[in-house]
A and B are shown apart, each in its own frame.
Chain A
Amino acid sequence: MKRILVCDDEPHIVEGLRHLLRDRDRLIEGARCGKEALARIAAACDRPEGPPDLLITDVMMPEMSGLDVVASLRSSDATKDLPIIILTAKGHAQDAAMAQEVWGATVVAKPFDPQRLRELVTAILENRLCPQVGSIS
C-alpha cells in the first residue's frame, strides 16, 4: 500500500486530487495547512510504517508556506529523501527553482494537466524518477 499526503488550504483541491490520484493500492490523506502536514508526517515517522511515500503540497498557504514545509522536511534525516511534488503558480517561480534544484522536489505549474500529474505520481511511487535535474543538484 502506497501512502500519499496532499496538503492544500482549499478543501476542494484536496478532494479533487484525492479523486484524480485514486487507485486500488493507494491511501490518500489530506492536510489543510503546512503545520498539519508536518505533524502528520512526524507522527507517521514515529509509527512502524514510517513517512508517507509522497507529499503533494501547494505553495501559497496561510501561516506556513509549502516551501517552509519542504525546508523543514529536508532538515530532518527521516524525511530528507521524501519525494515531494510542489504545486505552484508562475508568480512563485523563484522559490520553485529553489525547491527543485536544492531540495529535489518536483515542481508542477498550476494549472496542471491532470493526466500528466497522474503519470508523474505513478512514476514517483514506482521509483522510476531520476534524481532532480538542476544546476546544483
Chain B
Amino acid sequence: MSASRLYLVSPERVAEYVRAGPVRDAMAEIARLAGAELTPLPPHPDSVCDAPPESLNEIPIRYRQELRGRTIYRRDGGEAVERAARAVASLTEHLLDREEAVEDLAEAMITSYEELNMLYALLPRIVTTVHASDIGEAIVSEASRTLRCRRVSLLVLNEERTSFRVLASRGLPVSVRNISIPVRSSIAGSVLIHDDLLVVDNIDARPDLAELSVGTYEAPAFAVVRVPLRAQGEPLGILTATERQDGGEFTARDRKLLEGLSAVGASALLNCRLHAAVHRQMMNTIQALASAVDAKDHYTHDHSGRVAQLSVATARELGITDDATCREIEMAGLLHDIGKIGLADAILSKGGGLTAQEFAIVRTHVQIGASIVEHVEGLANVAKAILHHHERYDGLGYPGWLAGEAIPLASRLIATADAYDSLTSDRPYRAAVAPEAAIEELIRCKGTQFDPAVVEAFLAVVQRETRVLEPACV
C-alpha cells in the first residue's frame, strides 16, 4: 500500500528548518507513524499535487493572526493523517514563535549595544561640563547622529514651568531658535503633561495635535518623535527628533535610543542646575562675608564688590576667558580683605597713625584671610590670591616679597583694582581722589608697585566704563 502524502507549505521564516535537519526529521517521523509521507514545499508553491482540490484538506499555520503557511493532506488518508497534519502545523507555529523571539532578542541586543555605544560617546562630554548649553549640544548632536535625523531640538522649561525655550538644536531655522513655546498650548507641552513618548508619522492624521502646534516649529512635515525629559520626577524639557535622512518612520529601536538619551540628558541637566544653585549659594555666602568686612573696615559701601568686578573685567581684558579662573578672581576680589575680620577695630579705625607694632598686626590680615579661605574645599587658588594681594611688582610688598610673575595673577589684578578703588573713595582722613588722578598714580607706579600689563588692561577697562557711564557728547 502506497503511503498517503502530507504536504507542508512552509512559512517563509522557517523554510530552512523544514527542508532538512532534525526538525524536518521529527516532522517526517510524525507523518510516517500516521502512515503518510511528508513532502515539504516552498512558501509559495506553483501547485501542490495532481489530486483534485475537493479531495484535499488544509490546516492553516497562523502566527500573530496572520496566515503564514498550511499543511495539506488527502481526505481519504483517515484520522491518523489529519492528526499528523495538525501536529506538523502546530510544530511549525512553535517554530515560527521561536524564530520571532530570537529575532526580537537580537533586535533588543543591537539596540542596547547602540544605546551603550551612544552613552559611552556622550558621557565624557556631559559629565565634564557644568554648562547647560554644552550638555544640550552634546545630546542634540548625538540624537541627530544615532537617529539619523536632520532636525533635532532640545527644549527646556523655564523656572515657572510655563514655557519652553530652545536650549540646543540641529537644522532649526534661525527664526524659531529663540522663540518661547507655551506649555499650555503646544504639542511639546502636551507631551510633558502626559509624560509619554509621542510618535507622529503624519500630523494631518492627528487634528488634535495640529491644533496645538506652534507654527513652523512644531508642525512636522515628516515623522516626528518627542520624549519628555524628567529627572527625579522633575520635568525639565522635551527632546524632539524629526526629518529622518532616509525619510522612514521611527522604529521601536529609535524610540528606545531617544528615551535613553533623554534620561541621560535629564540627569545631566538637573546636575547642572544643582551645580548652579550651589554656586549661587556659595557666591551669596561670599558676598555676605565681603559686606561684613566692608562694614568693619569703614570702607565705603561695596568696596570688595567693586574690586572683584574690576579685577574680573581686567582679567577678561587680558584675554582670560576660562570661567573657572574668572570665578576664582571674582571670589578672591570679594574676599581679599576677609582677614581684617580678625583684627581689632581699634587698629583698623586708626588709619594713618599706626605704630610699627600695630602695622605688623595689620599686615597679618593677608595670612589670616588666606587661612580662613584655605579651609574651604576648592578655594586653594583663592586663598593664594588673598595671601599675595599686598605684594608689589618690584618685590617690596608683603608677605612673601614676591616680585613680577611670581605673584599670582589674581593678586596682581586685585592689587591694582584695590588701589584704584581706595584712591577714588572717601576715607575718614582724606577725600576721594578724582579718577584721572588715580589713573595717573597707577601709571606712575607701573612696574614698581603694579604689574605694567595689568595696569594697561585696567586702564582700558576703566576708560571704557567711564565712557559708558557718561553720555556721549554730540
Binding site for B on A (CB under 8 A): 67, 71, 88, 90, 93-94, 96-98, 101-104, 107-109, 116, 119-120, 123, 128-131, 133-137
- Return 20 A-B CB contacts under 8 Å, by A number: A67-B356, A90-B394, A94-B401, A97-B363, A97-B390, A97-B397, A98-B359, A98-B360, A102-B352, A104-B352, A107-B396, A116-B448, A129-B441, A130-B423, A133-B422, A133-B449, A135-B337, A135-B365, A136-B362, A137-B427
Q: In the complex the two chains form, is B352's CB within 8 Å of A93's CB?
A: no
Q: Which residue of B lies closest to A97 (CB)?
A: B398
CB A74 to nearest CB in B, in angstroms, measures 8
Q: Which of A67, A94, A130 contacts B398 (CB 8 A)?
A: A94
Given known A104-B352, A133-B445, contact A93–B362 (CB-CB < 8 A): no
Using a CB-CB cutoff of 8 Å, which residues 415-447 of chain B contact chain A? Answer: 418-419, 422-423, 427, 429-430, 433, 437-438, 440-441, 444-445
Interface residue? B395 (CB, 8 A): yes
CB B368 to nearest CB in A, in angstroms, measures 13
CB B357 to nearest CB in A, in angstroms, measures 10
Given known A130-B423, A133-B422, contact A93–B398 (CB-CB < 8 A): yes
Q: Which residue of B lies closest to A135 (CB)?
A: B390
Interface residue? B342 (CB, 8 A): no
Using a CB-CB cutoff of 8 Å, which residues 74-96 of chain B contact chain A? Answer: none
Interface residue? B351 (CB, 8 A): yes
Interface residue? B295 (CB, 8 A): no
CB B343 to nearest CB in A, in angstroms, measures 11
Give the docked Cα–Cα distance between A129 and B392 (Å).
19
CB A129 to nearest CB in B, in angstroms, measures 8
Q: Which of B418, B423, B448 contacts A108 (CB 8 A)?
A: B448
Binding site for A on B (CB under 8 A): 337, 350-354, 356, 359-360, 362-363, 365, 390, 392, 394-398, 401, 403, 418-419, 422-423, 427, 429-430, 433, 437-438, 440-441, 444-445, 448-449
CB A38 to nearest CB in B, in angstroms, measures 17
B394 surroundings in chain A (CB, below 8 A): 90, 109
Give the docked Cα–Cα distance between A106 and B365 (Å).
22
Q: In the complex the two chains form, is B359's CB within 8 Å of A101's CB?
A: yes
B401 surroundings in chain A (CB, below 8 A): 90, 93-94
Give the docked Cα–Cα distance between A128 and B365 (Å).
31
Q: Which residue of A lies closest to B450 (CB)?
A: A133
Q: In the complex the two chains form, is B433's CB within 8 Å of A93's CB?
A: no
CB B457 to nearest CB in A, in angstroms, measures 18
A136 surroundings in chain B (CB, below 8 A): 350-352, 354, 359, 362
Residue among B337, B351, B437, B444 with max Cβ neighbours from chain A (10 Å): B444
Q: Which residue of B lies closest to A107 (CB)?
A: B396
Give the docked Cα–Cα distance between A72 and B337 (Å).
30
Q: In the complex the two chains form, is B440's CB within 8 Å of A128's CB?
A: yes
Give the docked Cα–Cα distance between A137 and B356 (Å).
14
Given known A130-B433, A135-B337, A136-B362, contact A98–B448 (CB-CB < 8 A): no
Residue among B419, B427, B438, B448 with max Cβ neighbours from chain A (10 Å): B448
A97 surroundings in chain B (CB, below 8 A): 359, 363, 390, 396-398
Q: In the complex the two chains form, is B395's CB within 8 Å of A109's CB?
A: yes
A135 surroundings in chain B (CB, below 8 A): 337, 362, 365, 390, 418, 422
Q: Which residue of B lies closest to A98 (CB)?
A: B359
B398 surroundings in chain A (CB, below 8 A): 93-94, 97
Give the docked Cα–Cα distance between A55 and B433 (Å).
24
CB B332 to nearest CB in A, in angstroms, measures 15
Q: In the complex the two chains form, is B423's CB within 8 Å of A133's CB?
A: yes
Q: In the complex the two chains form, is A131's CB within 8 Å of B396's CB?
A: no
CB A87 to nearest CB in B, in angstroms, measures 11
Not counting A94-B398, A131-B423, a sample of 19 additional A-B residue pairs whose C-beta atoms are within 8 angstroms of each other reads: A71-B356, A90-B394, A90-B395, A93-B392, A93-B396, A94-B363, A97-B359, A97-B390, A97-B397, A98-B359, A102-B354, A119-B444, A130-B437, A133-B422, A133-B423, A134-B419, A135-B390, A135-B422, A136-B352
Q: In the complex the two chains form, is B351's CB within 8 Å of A123's CB?
A: no
A107 surroundings in chain B (CB, below 8 A): 396
Q: In the complex the two chains form, is B356's CB within 8 Å of A123's CB?
A: no
Given known A94-B398, A96-B396, A120-B444, contact A137–B433 (CB-CB < 8 A): no
A128 surroundings in chain B (CB, below 8 A): 440
Q: Which of B360, B396, B423, B444 contacts A123 (CB 8 A)?
A: B444
B419 surroundings in chain A (CB, below 8 A): 133-134
A96 surroundings in chain B (CB, below 8 A): 396
Q: Which residue of A lies closest to B437 (CB)?
A: A130
Q: Which residue of A lies closest to B419 (CB)?
A: A133
Give the docked Cα–Cα distance between A130 and B430 (Å).
11
CB A88 to nearest CB in B, in angstroms, measures 7
A116 surroundings in chain B (CB, below 8 A): 448
CB B361 to nearest CB in A, in angstroms, measures 11
Give the docked Cα–Cα distance between A109 and B449 (Å).
10
Give the docked Cα–Cα distance between A109 and B422 (Å).
23
Q: In the complex the two chains form, is B433's CB within 8 Å of A131's CB?
A: yes
CB A22 to nearest CB in B, in angstroms, measures 22
Q: Which residue of A lies closest to B398 (CB)?
A: A97
Give the docked Cα–Cα distance between A133 and B419 (Å).
6
Give the docked Cα–Cα distance between A16 and B419 (Å).
32
A93 surroundings in chain B (CB, below 8 A): 392, 395-398, 401
Give the docked Cα–Cα distance between A41 and B301 (Å).
41
Q: Which residue of A lies closest to B393 (CB)?
A: A109
Q: Which of A90, A98, A131 contacts B430 (CB 8 A)?
A: A131
A133 surroundings in chain B (CB, below 8 A): 419, 422-423, 441, 445, 449
B392 surroundings in chain A (CB, below 8 A): 93
